[in-house]
Every structure is written in C-alpha cells, then in structure tokens.
Structure 1
Amino acid sequence: MENQFVQLTIQNHVGIVKLNRPEAGNAIHLEMAKELMDVAIFCSESEEIRAVVITGAGNKFSVGGDLRSFAEKGEQISSHLKSVTAYLHQAISYFTRMNKPFIGAVNGVAAGAGMSLVCACDMAYAAEHSKFVMAYNKIGLTPDGSGSYFLPRLVGMKRALELMYTNRPLDAKEASEWGIINHVVAGEQLFEVVLELAENLAKGPMNAYGETKKLFYHSQQETLESQMSKESVVLAERASSIEGKEGIAAFLEKRETDFLKERVTSK
C-alpha cells in the first residue's frame, strides 16, 4: 500500500505494519490514524496475510497522540479528537477482531495511545531498552486506543489505576512481569525474533486462532456455565471444519499439519 505514515509490507504471509513518523516519535495524528485504519482493513481482509506484526520506525514505537497537531485546532480540538479516535479505534477493532494473530514488536518508547496499542496486541515482544507509560492523566487527559479496556484486564484494576494516576513508567522487564508484554528481547534481535514467530503462526490454523481469541475475550462477560457452553459449540464446529479435519488427520498419521494447503484455508 502506498501510504506515507503507516507502511505495509508482506513477507511469507506476514503483514508487517510500520508506524512511520520517526521524526515525531511516531506520534499519531489524523492522517496516521486514517492510514492505520485503512491498513487494518486490508490486513483483516487479505487472503495472503495470515499474521500481522506492528512496529515503529526509528527508535520509538509510538509516543502516543500528536499533541502539537491537536493543539493547533484551537476551539475545534474536541471535534478533531473525535475524528482521530474514530479512525484509531476502528483500526484497533479490525486488528483485534481479525482471525489472524496480531503481534507487537515494541522497539522503544510506547506512551499514551502507543502503550494502548501494545495492550491491544494478542502478543507483544519488546526490546530491552523499551519504556511504557500511559501519560494521559499527567496532562489532564483520559485513555484512548482501548487502553481503558485492555490495561485493567492485563495488570488488574489497582495496578492499572496506579499507572494512570502516577504516570509511572515501566521498563521492559517490569512490563513483562506485569503481563503487558510476553518477552524481552535484545534490541538488535527484536524484529528477527518477532518475524520468526509470526511466520510460524502464519502456517497455523488461522480460523482456530480467531475463534480462540473470541472465546478468551468473551469469557470476561460470561458465567462459568455459559462460557463452557460456548466452548462446547465452538469445539464441535472446529472439529468438523477443514482445519480441524487436517489437524486430527495429521495427528493420527503422525505427520506435520499443513494448514497452508489451498483446501485448508477455507472455513
């Protein structure tokens, strides 16, 4: 895609999304938010893409919203922010709801909406020099980009409020201990490690990934019995799907699964 602020390349069935305003710390302004939404739609719909990695250009992941561009709107700042967040939130919704794994490669500071975006990833790996800070309350604002949804679910309510009220920054090790990221990786190895992970996942059962993701997210609002009922229905559907049949056959035949075969890519 010919975008200026959010670049997309495809490698071995992996969509690599790069936030591309390094001179501004990959701060999110209206144009970037819109491009991110367009890229998210493309990734969610593309049959070639089976996993998605998101990272930042330069030495930062994203410092969050572009406050300078917001302030320039003067009295129109409220309506402007509604436009920015409409695009940003739709992008996050597409990334989160798609069947494909959504993996963060956090290559530096993730602040504000940048940290919210990390929290929205299915998995996230971070370079050892990365920093994480919510930053909103420090300037009298409240979270966006799904931060108020995912952060309490990842770290618990008291820790989430601590991060919001105090603007305490977390280093990569602490972010891993708190459950915000999965693993800390040496900076020079980060993208290689994440890309290898994504390429391996891209060979897997994409539709099973998607159904698993739905089960996990919906479990927050279900009772034990209603969740187990959902599990029973989805498991039965998956067992009779083309992916399920391939997986079971491969297990019984003592061979590797091949979910990339044309006959296995449909539901």
Structure 2
Amino acid sequence: MFDTVRATICGDIATVVFNRPKAFNAFDLDTITIMMDHLINLAADDTVRGIVISGEGNSFSCGGDLKWVASWPQDYASAFHNLAARYHQCILEIRRMSKPVIAAINGIAAGGGFSLALACDFRIMARSAVLKQSYTSNGLSIDGGGTFVLPRLVGLARALEIAAMDEPISAEQALNWGLVTRVVDDGKALEEAITFAEELSRKPLHSFAWSKKLLTDSFRNSLEEHLEQERTGLRSCAAHPDGKEGISAFIEKRKPMFNREAQ
C-alpha cells in the first residue's frame, strides 16, 4: 500500500514526511489522519527526542486537498468540518508534546501547510521556498491555528496584511519577519532540520518541555496563574536529574551531561 505519510526513526530523531509530491503534498482525510496517528505515537515514544516534519519532492505541503473537498459526497462545509477535526489534532499534538518539533520547509508551504509549519517549534526554510497563507485567496478563513500564531510572531498589523493581501513570502522576508528560524541552501532543509533536532536532543529535554508549555500557555493565563505555573515548572525541573546535574555542573565549573536518565 502506498504511504501518503512516511515516518522513520534514526537514532533518537523521527522524520515524518508528506508523500504526495504530485499533489504538492496536499492532504486529504486519509493523509491527515495518518499524520495525526504518527504524531500521537511519536509523542508517546520515549526513545524519540525530536521530530522533523517535511514534504517529499519540491513542496512542504499545500494544505487541504481542494480536489478531495470537491469530491466529498456532502457539501464543502461538511468536508472541511471533517478534515479540520484531524488536522486540528495534529496542531494540538505538536503544541502539546514535550519534545521539539522542527518543520523542514523544502518548498512551498501554503494553506494548511503554512499553518502546520507555524505550529512547529522551529522552522528551517530552503532559500527558494515560499510561504503563502492561501486561504483568503480561495474565499476561506485561515485555519490550523494560523490566526493564533501569526499575530504573535509578526504583530497584528502585519498578520492582517498577510491575511488580506496573501502575497507570497520569500525565505528572506520570512526570516526578517521572524516567521522562520533559519534559511539554508536549497536541498538542505531536511538535512539541516535533522541536524538541528540532534543538537536540541543534547539539551535538557525536561527543561525544554516546561519552557515550551509555559510559553504556549502564556497567551491564555493571567499573570497570577502564570507565575504559579512557572513556580510549578521550576520545582519540577529542580527535582529532575537534569536540573540537579545543571546546578552541580555550574557549581563545579564543568560542562553538564544532560538526559542521562534516558540513555
């Protein structure tokens, strides 16, 4: 059977790749369900310390497959309702999993592919790749958490500009606007993203998990709630082997050795 999403694990890094290059890695219901299942399984796999998401061929993903939407036996609204259920679970899995998730943007990331890339913790973008929200050009509203993430990355005024004008965003522009982490030569996005994930896997992952959670939750908490959550995180990290190792290494003036309990 042809795998529309391919997942592999090498060492402690998982790579999940959309595998519909002829359709620019657009996702139908089956494809996004497979992606959702992979993310759920990898989030629970303690041997995996980082996840890289990319697309086969020259595209990252052009988002929801509109040809599939048009073929849905009911109406367009019903098709999007069903597709979004699985797609939104992917977004939530990325944001809630404790390990880092890196998007390797090897080519165009548009529509749901754009929002999926923004949901990742880091984005490595090929120099000739392009970002495009695409929804509004098709008479649709932005989905996949795009309207949540965009104003937090680029500010409300620029997010409104992106929503209203829907102009292609080059890699250089994306880097200048803070939409991506790094820009690399064409053909190197996946390789660089895996290398980046490997670098992150040597950092204290329990600390990263708490930092990711706190930063994500900061947008919905009151200051009092967030300070209490920070205190809980600090206690958890201080009691964790990585926290004890980091403090000991600082006092002893040596390089810390993190994640030993996972080895």
1:203-236 deviations in Å (ceiling 9; x for gaps): 2222211110111112223344543333233212
1:196 Cα offset (Å): 1.1
The corresponding residue for 2:132 is: 133
Would the aligned equivalents of 1:12 and 1:199 in 2 still touch at CA under 8 Å? no
Q: CA RMSD in A?
A: 1.8
The corresponding residue for 1:26 is: 25
The corresponding residue for 1:64 is: 63
The corresponding residue for 1:40 is: 39
User: In 2, Cα distance between the equivalents of 1:265 and 1:132?
Assistant: 37
1:46-95 deviations in Å (ceiling 9; x for gaps): 01111111111001101111101101125433222212111111111112
After superposition, residues 58-207 of structure 1 pair within 5 angstroms as: 58-73=57-72, 75-207=74-206
SS at match of 2:75: helix
The letter of the residue matching 1:148 is T
User: In 1, Cα distance between the equivalents of 2:208 and 2:248?
Assistant: 19
The letter of the residue matching 1:20 is N
The letter of the residue matching 2:58 is N
The letter of the residue matching 1:265 is A
SS at match of 1:246: helix
1:245 Cα offset (Å): 1.2
SS at match of 2:151: helix
User: In 2, Cα distance between the equivalents of 1:239 and 1:75?
Assistant: 54
**C-alpha distance 193-217 of structure 1, shift in aligned 2 (>3 A):** same
User: In 1, Cα distance between the equivalents of 2:181 and 2:52?
Assistant: 14
- 1:258 aligned onto 2:257: yes
Would the aligned equivalents of 2:124 and 2:193 in 1 still touch at CA under 8 Å? yes
1:148 Cα offset (Å): 1.5
List 4+ stretches of structure 1 deviating above 6 A: none
1:131 Cα offset (Å): 0.5
SS at match of 2:189: helix
**C-alpha distance 73-188 of structure 1, shift in aligned 2 (>3 A):** closer
Would the aligned equivalents of 1:259 and 1:265 in 2 still touch at CA under 8 Å? no
Runs (5+) with no aligned partner, structure 1: none
User: In 2, Cα distance between the equivalents of 1:91 and 1:219?
Assistant: 21
User: In 1, Cα distance between the equivalents of 2:221 and 2:192?
Assistant: 35
Aligned sequence identity (%): 37
SS at match of 2:219: helix
1:27 Cα offset (Å): 0.4
User: In 2, Cα distance between the equivalents of 1:107 and 1:8?
Assistant: 17
- Is 218-227 or 232-241 further displaced after alignment? 218-227
**TM-score (ref. length: structure 2):** 0.94
**TM-score (ref. length: structure 1):** 0.92
Would the aligned equivalents of 2:8 and 2:15 in 1 still touch at CA under 8 Å? yes
User: In 2, Cα distance between the equivalents of 1:93 and 1:250?
Assistant: 35
- Is 200-209 or 59-68 further displaced after alignment? 200-209
Would the aligned equivalents of 1:3 and 1:35 in 2 still touch at CA under 8 Å? no
Would the aligned equivalents of 1:27 and 1:65 in 2 still touch at CA under 8 Å? yes
1:136-169 deviations in Å (ceiling 9; x for gaps): 1111111111112111211111111111111111
**C-alpha distance 241-165 of structure 1, shift in aligned 2 (>3 A):** same
Would the aligned equivalents of 2:18 and 2:56 in 1 still touch at CA under 8 Å? yes
User: In 1, Cα distance between the equivalents of 2:79 and 2:187?
Assistant: 38
SS at match of 1:138: helix
